[in-house]
Protein backbone atom coordinates (compact mmCIF):
# COMPACT_ATOMS: atom_id res chain seq x y z
CA UNK A 1 0.00 0.00 0.00
CA UNK A 2 2.68 2.47 -0.96
CA UNK A 3 0.60 4.07 -3.67
CA UNK A 4 -2.44 5.86 -2.23
CA UNK A 5 -5.82 5.96 -3.90
CA UNK A 6 -8.98 7.89 -3.08
CA UNK A 7 -9.90 5.43 -0.31
CA UNK A 8 -6.54 5.53 1.46
CA UNK A 9 -6.49 6.88 4.99
CA UNK A 10 -3.06 8.50 5.11
CA UNK A 11 -2.52 7.89 8.84
CA UNK A 12 -2.55 4.12 8.18
CA UNK A 13 -0.27 4.25 5.13
CA UNK A 14 3.12 2.52 5.17
CA UNK A 15 4.98 5.81 4.77
CA UNK A 16 3.22 7.49 7.70
CA UNK A 17 3.61 4.43 9.93
CA UNK A 18 7.28 4.26 8.99
CA UNK A 19 7.81 7.86 10.07
CA UNK A 20 6.01 7.45 13.40
CA UNK A 21 7.77 4.14 13.99
CA UNK A 22 11.21 5.64 13.35
CA UNK A 23 10.50 8.53 15.71
CA UNK A 24 9.43 6.07 18.44
CA UNK A 25 12.55 3.93 17.94
CA UNK A 26 14.84 6.97 18.06
CA UNK A 27 13.25 8.25 21.27
CA UNK A 28 13.55 4.89 23.04
CA UNK A 29 16.83 3.68 21.54
CA UNK A 30 15.96 -0.01 21.83
CA UNK A 31 12.30 -1.03 21.97
CA UNK A 32 10.65 -4.42 22.13
CA UNK A 33 8.64 -5.45 19.07
CA UNK A 34 5.36 -5.76 21.00
CA UNK A 35 5.92 -2.45 22.80
CA UNK A 36 6.50 -0.70 19.48
CA UNK A 37 3.35 -2.19 18.00
CA UNK A 38 1.25 -1.33 21.07
CA UNK A 39 2.64 2.21 21.09
CA UNK A 40 1.61 2.77 17.49
CA UNK A 41 -1.81 1.26 18.09
CA UNK A 42 -2.41 3.59 21.04
CA UNK A 43 -1.19 6.66 19.09
CA UNK A 44 -2.79 6.01 15.70
CA UNK A 45 -5.47 3.34 15.98
CA UNK A 46 -6.20 -0.36 15.72
CA UNK A 47 -5.86 -0.48 11.93
CA UNK A 48 -2.08 -0.13 12.37
CA UNK A 49 -1.98 -3.95 12.36
CA UNK A 50 -2.64 -3.98 8.60
CA UNK A 51 0.63 -2.30 7.61
CA UNK A 52 2.83 -2.56 10.71
CA UNK A 53 4.96 -5.42 9.43
CA UNK A 54 5.30 -3.80 5.99
CA UNK A 55 6.56 -0.53 7.48
CA UNK A 56 8.98 -2.32 9.81
CA UNK A 57 10.26 -4.49 6.95
CA UNK A 58 10.88 -1.42 4.81
CA UNK A 59 12.84 0.22 7.62
CA UNK A 60 14.92 -2.94 7.95
CA UNK A 61 15.55 -3.19 4.20
CA UNK A 62 16.64 0.44 4.08
CA UNK A 63 19.15 -0.29 6.86
CA UNK A 64 17.59 2.14 9.31
CA UNK A 65 16.88 -0.44 12.02
CA UNK A 66 18.22 -3.77 13.14
CA UNK A 67 16.52 -6.65 14.90
CA UNK A 68 17.93 -8.05 18.14
CA UNK A 69 16.71 -11.66 18.23
CA UNK A 70 17.82 -12.44 21.77
CA UNK A 71 15.57 -9.73 23.25
CA UNK A 72 12.98 -9.52 20.42
CA UNK A 73 13.78 -5.81 20.11
CA UNK A 74 14.34 -3.22 17.42
CA UNK A 75 17.11 -0.61 17.52
CA UNK A 76 17.99 2.31 15.29
CA UNK A 77 21.22 2.17 13.31
What CATH number is associated with residue 49?
1.10.10
- Please state the pTM of the whole predicted model: 0.85
Which tens digit of pLDDT belongs to each residue from 57-73? 999 999 999 999 999 99
- Best CA proximity match to 37, nearest among 4, 47, 62, 8: 47
Number of domains in the chain: 1
Residue 37 is part of which domain span? 11-76
2-31: average pLDDT? 87
Identify whether 2 is part of a domain: no
Which tens digit of pLDDT belongs to each residue from 31-57? 999 999 999 999 999 999 989 999 999
Rounded to a whole number, what is the largest CA-CA distance in the chain? Answer: 42
Query: 30-32 and 65-68 as β-strands: parallel, antiparallel, unpaired?
Result: unpaired
Is residue 9 a contact partner of residue 15, using CB atoms and an 8 Å limit?
no
Amino acid sequence: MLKPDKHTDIKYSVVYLLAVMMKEIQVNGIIKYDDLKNSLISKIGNRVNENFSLALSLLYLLGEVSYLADTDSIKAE
